[in-house]
Amino acid sequence: MGSEEKRRERRNSLLAGAAWAAGIGIALVEMQMGMDYVLGNLAQHASTMVRWLPMVGTLVLGFGGSPVPHYNSLDAMMGLLPMAAVPFGFFLLGLIRKDRAAV
């Protein structure tokens, strides 16, 4: 009875492993096909994208430069520094702790 359960458990784990391997293989094939499609379309539309660059640059500078006049003092900019540094600090902490994590 016990040997029958072990045999079923081993067969099920092998089937689960095979299913995972097949799923990963299918995902990799689809990712490669998707990248081929994106690169093909990118080459086809590159001339159109080059014409968009001045418009996109103007929008980025307009949007990114809009809060600058509101923070014209050094004190206000230093007040914003912790809000920008905290997520970056958490990111660095995650990178440091990643090697120590138990799997």
pLDDT tens per residue across span 59-74: 777 776 666 666 566 6
pTM, two decimals, is: 0.37
**The predicted structure's pLDDT at residue 102:** 56
Segment holding 100, helix H or strand E: none
Do residues 78 and 72 make contact, with C-beta atoms less than 8 angstroms apart? no
pLDDT tens per residue across span 2-25: 788 888 888 888 889 889 999 999
Question: In whole angstroms, what is the distance from residue 35 CA to residue 91 CA?
Answer: 28
Q: If pLDDT is split at 50, 70 and 90, which confidence band does 53 have?
A: confident
For the chain, domain boundaries:
2-66, 72-103
Average pLDDT over residues 22-35: 89
